[in-house]
Structure 1
Amino acid sequence: MNGLKLILLVLLTVVFAWIFSLVFCRVEYYTGENSLVDGLGSDFQQYDDIFKNIYTFENKIKHFTAAETLKFVSEKLDPEMFMNATQLITSKGLPCEEHFPHTEDGFILGMQRIPHHSSKGPPVLLMHGLLSSSDCFLTNLINESLAYILHNAGFDVWLGNVRGNVYSKKHEYYSPDELKFWAWSFDEMGQYDIPAMVEYIINTTGHPKINYIGHSQGATSMLAAGMHKKGFNAKINKFIALAPAGLVPNMKSPMHYLTYIAGNIKMLYSLFGDGEFLPHTGWLSAVAKIICPETEKLCENVLFLFGGADAANINITRVPVYTAHNPAGTSTQNMIHWAQMVKNKHNNMLHYDYGYWYLNLKHYHSIYPPVYDFSEFDISMYAFCGGSDTLVVPNDCAKLLSLLPDIKHSYFIPEYTHLDFIWAVNAAITVYKTVLDILLL
């Protein structure tokens, strides 16, 4: 086992070293007269421009004084790269409130609200996907971002954030520096986070029900909540699921490679850390802020490695903003749970497997993790699936919908990838117009 672990660590080190050298080193054989890129064909031709741009960017700033560097950077960088959710909202001239509901297990969740006190119907709660935050509904232009579109259509819009991301890193008892702070997956999001936010909105607004729109994991955590908390389903008026990730056994995204070691919990923790996975404040965010304005194609490839994207569907000039706000953080345990989800080929959704029978017995009173019962999820649901989604492939999306008892309507968009549902330039017409129609039914 130690030999296998060593081999995996060596392979990961080689891969990351190769990527690092490609991005940060001026490798002349990539851009010279006999460029290696020329021999790799058109698929790699785009990288010639990338390396030339990095080289040019470096040479522009390396002789600057501090003041000149600050001036140059401020002119080059989109200010929205450095705004939080509240600032993104208020910069559009819209009102914003910050709210902090507490979960039953002590987490303090950060929420933003774009109030509309003469709203059309129940409030709308937007829930982000894996490794993201409420920012994902705010980082396109005002006529393209779902949160702004809903507000301008007359809805009271709430933006949620689950435990562990940049807006929800507080706890009544634990610090993010403690491992106990990170001992959770989307099971706890469904058991605690979603109910806490829904209950908070109901208590604040006086509406007995809310509408819920979840992307990817945001839909999964709603499924978990609806199958876990008795009486919870009656508080949801309509559930709109964008690329719902309830079943992912046929995932094509590079994330599926985690399945090869998904059964070895100890190894996964040793590779990815015991606590936070991909922290927002790490070097990845810093690199994105510096490099992306000059090398948008590079960031496009890095950002959409897991989720995938069609370059024809996104605003390339916004990529630096996307990468500055993502990844927004989650726990390693949550990522392990997703690896287990991909490995599960039984068309069901399981709770987190602790990897040892005695730990499962301690948590579940069973040596096996419990199965979520889809038949208990009786919330009226409208689902959108993407034909080019590599994370929630069409067959998995269709299979999930066939197992849920109250699917009002499903929509299939052949050209959409996983992230197009939140960032595609045509999403306002292709998806959000239908979302508005559903909410107004």
Structure 2
Amino acid sequence: MVLSKVGIVAFMILFNVDSVFNNVMSSHIDKMKSEWDSDVFLDSFGLLTKYGYAPERISVTTEDGYVIDTFHIPRSGPPVLLVHGITDSSDEWLVLGPNRSLAYQLADAGLDVWLYNSRGNRYSREHRDNIPKKEYWNFTYEEMGTQDLPAVIDHILNVTSQEKLSYIGFSQGTTIFFVMCSMKPDYNTKIEVSILLAPVAWIAHLKLPTIGIVSRNLELLSSITEALGLYELYPFKISNVIKSLSCLRLYPTNVCYIDFYINYGLVHSDYLSPDKIAVIGSHIPAGTSNLNFQHFIQNYSSKRFQRFDYGSKKNLKVYSSKQPPLYNVELVTAPVSIIASEIDWYSTNDDVQKLKSKLPNIKRFIALNSSLEFSHLEFVYGTRVQKIVNERVINILLDDLNMR
């Protein structure tokens, strides 16, 4: 059933109700701080500092002027870059603490760890020039792949005096890797090892419950957000923290998992630790552009891994064709190791198999059997992430970098 225009307007307004909630509830934040785990209130720098990792916050400016913030855990080993998923941030590699989050463990293994933050998220919100808001948010994951990643990689290689680095991407962090390596193929030679968790390129079989409604009404939703001046989607706000804590304090624990199920396909609540629900919920979402979200929905509708669709008239001007060109993943010659789950809603088995058939240099392909019921969210936030993901990732790096 197609939503009515009135219903969709209400739907889009609700996307931004956080701003009202934020103003009403922020006065209670100091009181709540004293009652809950302080990790809820710590950003990436604070989390790393708390657990004794002496981080550096380093800003890198892209060719098109966006200021990308990274967090660096200095070590003497080879550099490794960790790249987060959509509407997330460097926090995703840290919030479970040193016993379960990958960034700490890589540093403990002696690797020189760098944590990326995409343009527009809670950390990377500045621009070199004083450009209008609408212009600032005029980007999708393509710019992350063609601008953000190359700038960050070049900076890391320059300051470490290395010719190559290792790359670990989750979800959108794999998408922008494919974009970079296909559109700027010279960067394949700068990748020593790449480990792609829950890779996302083709998303024809995406299982998000609301995807059908959104895709059928994408043009209308786009015009509404444009008219309302809503260029940012799911911004990080203090209400992230308040809602997360309130959920645990006021409602039964199972209710708190509904959002994770609807948005990420979480199979069982046991697979996210109750002791970390407030911490996870307080750090996500971290913000992205509406256009970025639209780009993914376009790919779902077209069943193609393609560049942004401006409509046939503008496509002719931009691409010299009515249809957006595909990203040519056959140009991704960097060595790739993939870990994917057969029941993942976002990185579905059918779509991953199509990607697998096109990548020319897959060193390893690890399929997590459906019997594990390992969901998309668990790759970075799950109770089982240590055994199922982290140990595999660390072993691959140590083997491929000859660090045994």
TM-score normalised per structure 2? 0.88
Deviation, structure 1 residue 265: 6.6
CA distance in 1: counterparts of 2:281 and 2:39, whole angstroms: 11
Which residue is 1:430 aligned to?
Answer: 388
**Mapped contact 2:200–2:347 kept (Cα < 8 A):** yes
- After TM superposition, list the pairs within 5 Å mapping 1:8-407 onto structure 2: 8-9=8-9, 12=11, 73-117=32-76, 119=77, 122-174=78-130, 178-257=133-212, 258-264=214-220, 266-267=222-223, 269-270=225-226, 273-281=229-237, 283-295=239-251, 296-309=253-266, 310-345=268-303, 348-354=304-310, 356-407=311-362
Letter in 2 for 1:166: R
CA contact (8 A) 1:166 1:328 kept: yes
Q: What CA distance in whole angstroms lies between the structure 1 residues aligned with 2:43 and 2:7?
A: 40
Distance in 1, matches of 2:250 and 2:122, equals 26
CA distance in 2, matches of 1:291, 1:366: 49
**Partner letter of residue 109 of structure 1?**
I
What's the CA shift for 1:292?
3.5
- Preserved CA contact (<8 Å) 1:110 1:161: yes
Change (3 A) 1:288 1:270: farther
| Cα distance change of structure 1 residues 340 and 170 upon mapping to structure 2, 3 Å threshold | same
Range that drifts further, 327-336 or 76-85: 76-85
TM-score by length of 1: 0.81
Contact 1:77 1:293 survives alignment (8 Å): no
CA distance in 2, matches of 1:268, 1:4: 13
Match of residue 32 from structure 1: none
- In structure 2, what is the Cα distance between the partners aligned to 1:70 and 1:108? 29
Structure 2 unaligned spans of 5+: 400-404
Q: Indicate the RMSD between aligned Cα atoms, in angstroms.
A: 2.6
Tell me the percent identity.
30
What residue identity is the alignment partner of 1:256? I
Which whole-Å CA distance do the structure 2 matches of 1:314 and 1:190 have between them?
30
Q: Residue 5 of structure 1 aligns to which amino acid in structure 2? A: K
Cα separation, partners in 2 of 1:341 and 1:318, compared to 1, 3 Å: same
Distance 1:143 1:285, change over 3 A: closer
Q: Is the 8 A contact 1:162 1:189 kept in 2?
A: yes
Give the 3 Å change call, closer, same or farther, for CA 350–278 of structure 1 in structure 2: same
Cα distance in 1 between the residues matched to 2:166 and 2:367 = 21
* Alpha-carbon distance between aligned partners in 2 of 1:184 and 1:170, rounded to the nearest angstrom: 14
Question: Do 2:346 and 2:376's aligned partners in 1 also have CA atoms closer than 8 Å?
Answer: yes
Higher RCO (C-alpha 8 Å, min separation 6): 2
Instruction: Provide Cα deviations, 1:11-41, integer angstroms capped at 9, x if missing partner.
Output: x389x69x99xxx9xxxxxxxxxxxxxxxxx
Residue 420 of structure 1 aligns with which residue?
378
Aligned counterparts of 1:276 and 1:323: Cα–Cα separation in 2: 19
Name structure 1 gaps, 5 residues minimum.
25-60
Q: Helix, strand or coil: the match of 1:232?
A: helix
